[in-house]
Amino acid sequence: MQPGETLLREGAANLQRGIEAVGGRLYLTDRRLSFHSHAFNVQTGVTDIPLSQVRGTHPCWTKFLGMIPLFPTSLAVSTADGGQYHFVVHDRDAWAAVIGAKLPGAGG
């Protein structure tokens, strides 16, 4: 975490990157949403999404190979630049609520 940053929620997650569902941990702070992949994935690294860039979240389907819907267990995060990030998380509704409460103009 960065100096002065407050951790609000964390948990195991997968981030859909193309056809790979990259395993790791998702962190929500008062400043950003940050995904840290496990080292044993093909695609590794950190994905940071500043909360100032998040425009919303909505539930979506977890997809096999990025195409075939399997389960309605993912959370899509949309950004100001038109980006979409799909996270498989436990209790996606709770994640959506806490992210939504921290968005600009939400008062939280």
Q: How far is CA 90 from the centre of its chain?
A: 11
H or E, element range at 33: strand 32-37
Binned at pLDDT 50, 70 and 90, residue 81 comes out as very high
* pTM of the entire predicted model: 0.84
Distance CA(29)–CA(23), nearest Å, equals 19
Q: Is the pLDDT of residue 9 over 70?
A: yes
- pLDDT tens digits, 26-78: 999 999 999 998 777 666 778 999 999 999 998 887 776 656 556 677 899 99
- Strands 32-37 and 68-79, sheet pairing: unpaired
Binned at pLDDT 50, 70 and 90, residue 21 comes out as confident
pLDDT of res. 67: 61
pLDDT of res. 1: 76
| Burial degree of 26 (CB within 10 A; 0-12, 13-18, 19+) | buried
Share of the chain above pLDDT 90, in %: 48
pLDDT of res. 42: 62
